[in-house]
Structures are given as structure tokens and as C-alpha cells.
Amino acid sequence: MKTIHKIGAARAIYRAVHAGRTLLGRTDREIFVRDGISYDLDLSQGIDFAIYLGGMFEPSTATALSKLTEPSSLVLDIGANIGAHTLRLAKLVGPKGRVLAFEPTDFAFRKLRRNLDLNPLLASRVDAFHCFLTATDGTVVPDAIYSSWPLVAEAGLHPKHLGREMQTDSAQARSLDSILAEHADRKVQLVKLDVDGFECDVLRGAPSLLRDARPTFVMELAPYVLDERGASLDQLLSYFIPNGYIFYHERTQKRLPSTAKELQALVESGESMNVIARVT
């Protein structure tokens, strides 16, 4: 299903929930507990609303992460947004594990920090980085990046996925390899990568990770947003295939083609496919 249709369905449900809560004198903002994790949610935001509904935010990705995360391991959440997967990963790695979470927008990072503060036990396992991952440290950070999916129609949203760009005023540009050299105390086991077209920027700064650690990736493939960023599916695959990676469908575990042309044929414009990339 195209993202625009998913957001359309969420908007319809949100309107009903919002009306009911208004009748009860409640606002869209409240702290909720889901699966033992506390979240400060704004129900007018798509990610927040999916968490509120319980099990509705990227369920196949959550299932894949739960199966692939090893206790006491080091995992990366790249494109952490408000921490929906970050906090789950912190539960999965356990008290001896670590999660490095990366989010470049001021809006989402502020919400990520708030949700970590609400869960101090899990937060002790998480290092959160307010940065834009790219080829080298200190380069220019894009002024704004999509990190908000409002459920109330407004001007200026992306025409296909209905996201809203948010400012990155406080973010630094870092390469992933340089951060890992400073902060990784063990081999990276798993990477969740969802950065809406900036995947090639991230991977340009991670040659050592791909060559030496070769962790499993759980990631979103959306060729149309790669194109919008001046990248391509061909370029994305060039970081994985030479390093021995094979792609699998996230939900069915079916092996996927290893050429851009064949993969592109499986994903319509405006759609994305969630995949697992691993070395076998």
C-alpha cells in the first residue's frame, strides 16, 4: 500500500478518536504506556498515533527486529525519530546491551529525548546522537528533513508520502564510522536504517562497518525518495552487494533480486518495501 493511502486511513481513524477524546475533555497530548514502555504522544502525529493504537507502527519491522536482536548486543537505530523502535530495541538487548540512536531533526530528537527520560531503565542502555550521518564529519547538514507525518491536512506536505520537513538547526554532520570508532565497545550486530532517501549518505560514511562488521540491516527501500535525493537504487546496492549482502523480504523472508532493475519492478512509485539485508 502506498504511504499516502496509509496516512489517509490513519487520518480517518484519528478524526474519530479526536472527536471522542474531545467529548471527554481530553487533548491530543498525553503520556501512554504500550508494551511496558511510556511515550509522550501527540495523537495528531502519524507515528505517535500508530503507537497509541498499539502494535500499528511498522509491525513487520518490529517483528523482524525482535527476531534478529541478540541479547547483550550493540544495535543501531538510524532514523530513530521519536524512539518507537529505539525503546523496543533497548528492551531486546537487555541490561548488558547497547543501542546507538541517530536522529537529525530538532523536532523528533526533542521527542526522542523526552521518551527516553520517561523510561530511565531503558534509557541507560541508549546513546542518542543528534546528528546527520553522512560521508565525513563537519560537512553541511540539510536545512530540513522529513520527520513529521501530520494527521491534519495542511499545506506544504510531500505530495506522495505526506510528510513535513522539520528543521535540523542543532544537528551535526558525522560519519558513522567515526562515531563507532569513538563509541562502539563491541561489534555492531544489527542496524535499523530508515532515513527517507538519505541511505546512501549514511552508507558513504560507513565503509568499515560494511566491510568488517557486516551487521544485518533491517531497512526501508523506497526508490522514489532515493531519486529525490539525487541517489539511486543502483547506488544503494553498490554498498551492499560487493560486501556479500543478500536481500530478503522483511515479512515473508523470501530472497529478493540483487539488481536494481529487478528490485525496482517490485516497488511502485510512492511505495516502499521493507527488507532485511544480511551476509550469509
pLDDT, residue 255, reads: 98
C-alpha 13: how far from its chain's center? 23
Residue 71 counted as domain residue: yes
Q: Whats the size of the chain, residue-wise? A: 280
Structural domain harbouring 165: 57-279
> Quick one: which of 184, 51, 190 has its CA closest to 115?
51
Q: Which band of pLDDT confidence, cut at 50, 70 and 90, is reported for residue 46?
A: very high
Q: What is the mean pLDDT of the chain?
A: 96
Give the domain CATH number at 203. 3.40.50.150
Q: How does strand 74-78 pair with strand 98-102?
A: parallel
Residue 215 counted as domain residue: yes
Residue 67 counted as domain residue: yes
pLDDT, residue 221, reads: 94
Residue 1 counted as domain residue: no
Average pLDDT over residues 66-76: 98
pLDDT, residue 217, reads: 98
- Cα(273)–Cα(120) distance, rounded to whole angstroms? 33
pLDDT, residue 257, reads: 96
The predicted model scores a pTM of: 0.96
pLDDT tens for each residue of 132-142: 999 999 999 99
- Cα(68)–Cα(264) distance, rounded to whole angstroms? 26
Residue 252 counted as domain residue: yes
Residue 72 counted as domain residue: yes
Average pLDDT over residues 34-51: 97
pLDDT, residue 2, reads: 79
Average pLDDT over residues 205-227: 97
Residue 2 counted as domain residue: no
Q: How far is CA 57 from CA 52, 95, 230, 233, in A?
A: 9, 25, 28, 25
Residue 105 counted as domain residue: yes
Q: Is the model's pLDDT at 1 over the cut of 80?
A: no
Average pLDDT over residues 236-247: 98
Domain total in the chain? 1
Higher pLDDT, 55 or 1: 55
